[in-house]
Amino acid sequence: MRVTNGLARHRKHKKIIDQAKGYRGAMSITYKSAKQAVVKAMTFSTRDRKQRQRKMRELWIMRINAGARMSGLSYSKFMFGLKKAGIELDRKVLAELAYSNQAEFSKLVEVAKKSI
């Protein structure tokens, strides 16, 4: 008996077509164009996840810098002072403090000033 690849190929094609659901035109119907579209979309999604992380870090640094400058200290000196004081808070938490709880953030700035 001859062994064919029909079922496996059908499943493979169906997986790609399902991933391309919602794409415009033949991109969601034909296997060849759907595969190209899915590969390109996956490439962009990987790239854009990295870019989103980068943008968030930029935003956190801007917020920390603004909060530190309101208390008379630059971002770099503030971060250096925190590191010297042994306070290990990440930028996400510091940005949230600077944005929503300025009283607590100003206390951190004072600690950083003393340790410099």
In a domain, 111, yes or no: yes
pLDDT band at 32 (very low <50, low <70, confident <90, very high): very high
Q: Domain limits at 68?
A: 6-115
In a domain, 20, yes or no: yes
In angstroms, the CA 112 to CA 115 distance is 5
In a domain, 1, yes or no: no
The CATH number of the domain holding residue 25 is 1.10.1900.20
Mean pLDDT of the chain: 94
Q: Looking at residues 74-96, what average pLDDT do you find?
A: 94
In a domain, 14, yes or no: yes
In a domain, 71, yes or no: yes
CA R_g for the chain: 26
- How many domains does one find in the chain? 1
Question: How is 58-106 classified by DSSP, letter by letter?
Answer: HHHHHHHHHHHHHTT--HHHHHHHHHHHT----HHHHHHHHHH-HHHHH
In a domain, 47, yes or no: yes
In a domain, 101, yes or no: yes
Q: What pLDDT does 116 receive?
A: 85
Please state the length of the chain: 116
Task: Look at the pTM and tell me if it is higher than 0.75.
Answer: no
